[in-house]
Structure 1
Amino acid sequence: MGHIDNGIQASCIEGAVWRKSRRSNPSGNCVELAELPGGEIAVRNSRYPDGPALIYTRAEIATFIDGAKDGEFDGMAGGC
């Protein structure tokens, strides 16, 4: 698989195995992630599985996850 551009239609990413958090709720307010053969991570909205997917490097995802673990985004989810 060659380079994949951001905003590609998620259904066009061949072989992607999409995963979402066990904390996801039945209302469909979730994001799903898929590891790509080149090492990138694709992210899509679970309500629009054929919609656009954003592509991030592993380093970008790791930085985001570290920030989430540190509570840097808690206010964005309605928390304190």
Structure 2
Amino acid sequence: MYRIHNAVRELGTEGWHKPWSGSNGGSCVEVRKLPDGRYAVRQSTDPEGPALVFTHTELDVFARGWEAGQATLAAS
């Protein structure tokens, strides 16, 4: 089980990609598949910040909500 406190410290910088793109000035999410099959999601403008961890099903639901305008990520 992964205990993620900080995306960079725990997960490193390799393997992240931006699965979604939009007209939001480069403020995107980045995703990385973890060895156990789950996915870590982080704010691209805050790569040293926290990451959310989803199962494949949870990430699918999140992505559908994102595309429908029901989900947003905001750097604090």
CA RMSD of aligned residues (A): 2.8
**Higher alpha-carbon Rg:** 1
Per-residue Cα deviation, 1:18-66 (whole angstroms, up to 9, x for no partner): 1103625583311111100000000000011111001011110122334
Unmatched 5+ stretches in structure 1: none
Q: Residue in 2 aligned with 1:41?
A: 39
**Matched-pair contact (CA < 8 Å) for 2:21–2:28:** no
Query: 1:10 and 2:7 equivalent?
Result: yes
For 1:1-80, what aligned pairs fall within 5 Å after superposition? 3-5=1-3, 8-11=5-8, 12-14=10-12, 16-21=14-19, 23-24=21-22, 27-68=25-66, 71=68, 73=70
Moved over 6 A (4+): none
| Structure 1 residue identity aligned to 2:70 | F
Identity between Structure 1 and Structure 2 (%) = 32
TM-score, scaled to structure 1: 0.66
Richer in strand (by share): 1
SS at match of 2:51: strand
Q: Which runs of 5+ in 2 are unaligned?
A: none
